[in-house]
Amino acid sequence: MLLSFHSYKGGTGKTTFVGNLGIMLAQQGKKVCIIDTDVNGPGIHSLFNIRYDMTLIDFLQGVCSAEDVVYRYDDTKVYIVPSKACEEDISAMFKTPGEARDKLLKLIKKIAKKLDIDHFLFDCSPGINKSSLLTMNIVDKATIVSTIDIQDIRGTYLLSGMSAKLDTQAALLFNRIPLEKRDDINEIVADFSKKLGTELLGIIPYDESVARTWSRKIPMKDNPDCEYCTQLKKLAEKLIK
């Protein structure tokens, strides 16, 4: 299954969610490949403490093979394709968006065949940009991660509209919700999702223990019984059917 994760702004907890989801799926016996397509501000390699030589950018530019950019995380069933910071977006590296799409699909096909991957997770660039939309256009489901910040809400509306135009199934996840507003928010986000005609995965309350990791540790590995992980597991059941 191909799953992409988007946000309108940075700071929504998207990368942390993707990393923990990958670990959770691996704990269930699945082989997972996480591909960092946030080429303007990559972060997956930091979360997993991956030291890399070649990255997604090098593969897309024809510098190396698909095998050269895949890194196994410790002794788990999680495989990482990191990216390095790049001024241009993925589409700008090719003559046409179609060429960019074909190159990315080639990478997926090669990794899937070699490692027998069950799920590909794409950590996409924040905002509405060509790299993010390119990835959204090739996946089975696109998840939009948002906070209750008004700009995030407006941006989520736009991203949901783009997924509809691309005919890609979308789902909404509201993250980092203040605990004291959790009950009040449930009805509001449910109504918002209904108006958009987009599936609501649910909400994850703000968790101080997760915030204190500074995106350098993975709660699902170190503290799988925490509130954040408990909620993530419930949402994952709806995400991966």
What mean pLDDT is reported for the chain? 93
pLDDT for res 241 = 78
- Fold assignment, 2-239: Rossmann fold (3.40.50)
Closest CA to 69 of 52, 48, 44: 52
Tens digit of pLDDT for each residue in 178-223?
878 777 888 889 999 999 999 999 999 888 888 877 677 899 998 8
Q: Could you tell me the two tokens for 100?
A: 């960019």
Residues of the chain falling short of pLDDT 70: 214
pLDDT for res 212 = 78
- How far is the C-alpha of 128 from the C-alpha of 113, rounded, in Å? 31
Q: Which residues pair with 170 in a beta bridge?
A: 142
The rounded percent of the chain whose pLDDT value lies above 90 is: 80
The pTM score is: 0.96
Domain boundaries, the chain: 2-239
Q: Could you tell me the two tokens for 134?
A: 């390119």
- How far is the C-alpha of 84 from the C-alpha of 43, rounded, in Å? 9
